[in-house]
Amino acid sequence: MLQAIRADLAIIKERDPAARGTLEILLCYPGFHALLLHRFSHRLWRAGMPLLPRMLSQLGRLFTGVEIHPGASIGQGVFIDHGMGVVIGETAVVGDKCLLYQGVTLGGTGKQHGKRHPSLAENVVVGAGANVLGAISVGANTRIGAGSVVLRSVGPDSTVVGVPGRVVHQSGVRVDPLAHSALPDTEAQVIRKLMQRIDALEGQVARLQSDLGQLAAGRQPDQRYDGEAQNLQDREILEFLGEQPGDNF
């Protein structure tokens, strides 16, 4: 437990430029206070004491604005930045060196028993107001953009944005975990591709109309090469929509 607390202090010093010393973190960081209280209540929960850990969890929620169920498993070096409104469910797993911003929910779906909350691997960043819901897994070094809603499992080294969350893989690229401005604008990319596709189709319609006019006049239409098909762009659009080629709409 002491090792986990030291790791929590170290990650705050590493990732928060506003942290000016250990004493300031001990006195002024509600995310750290919430984790400290959770680590104690989690030990009681594992020892088979259900009521007292839940009371401590509610006490932590009252004073920090962070609600962590005592059954949740949280690794070392976790940083809950600001913390207000963070909710972590009973069967959630948070790996080492994860970073959670304010308003994050690691929640469940439905009323089934057993594993019903997400599992985050190490070094996952979850942006402000994001929701990760259900018994899904999020791979190591993945970033989830602010306000995203993640309902499907995500592989490692990925970026997830949007509602519902859509994945843009960035394998092998090291990214600053605090660089939220570096998140890709996938909606703008897909809109550009759709506009390009519309332009191409309008060009084809115009050429067909011209060819029909020449045929009606008894002339042979000019031979034209229409270029390559846009199958790659179609596939990217389907991935953005969460579909696979061949799925029925």
Q: What is the distance, to the nearest Å, from the Cα of residue 43 to the centroid of all Cα atoms in its chain?
A: 29
Query: Which DSSP string do the residues of 173-201 spell out, in sequence order?
Result: ----TT-GGGS--HHHHHHHHHHHHHHHH
Structure tokens at 115: 């594993």
* Lowest mean per-residue pLDDT among 97-111, 116-130, 166-180, 208-222: 166-180
Q: For residues 56 and 50, is the Cβ–Cβ distance under 8 A? A: no
The full set of domain ranges for the chain reads 2-182, 186-241
The pLDDT tens digits for 90-127 are 999 999 999 999 999 999 887 778 889 999 999 999 99
The pLDDT tens digits for 6-58 are 888 888 888 888 888 889 888 988 999 999 999 999 999 999 887 899 999 99
Backbone angles phi, psi at 126, to 5 degrees: -115, 115
pTM for this entry? 0.70
Q: What is the distance between the alpha carbons of residues 91 and 119, in angstroms, rounded to a whole number?
A: 8
User: Among the CATH numbers 2.60.120.680, 3.30.56.10, 2.160.10.10, 1.25.40.10, which is that of 2-182?
Assistant: 2.160.10.10
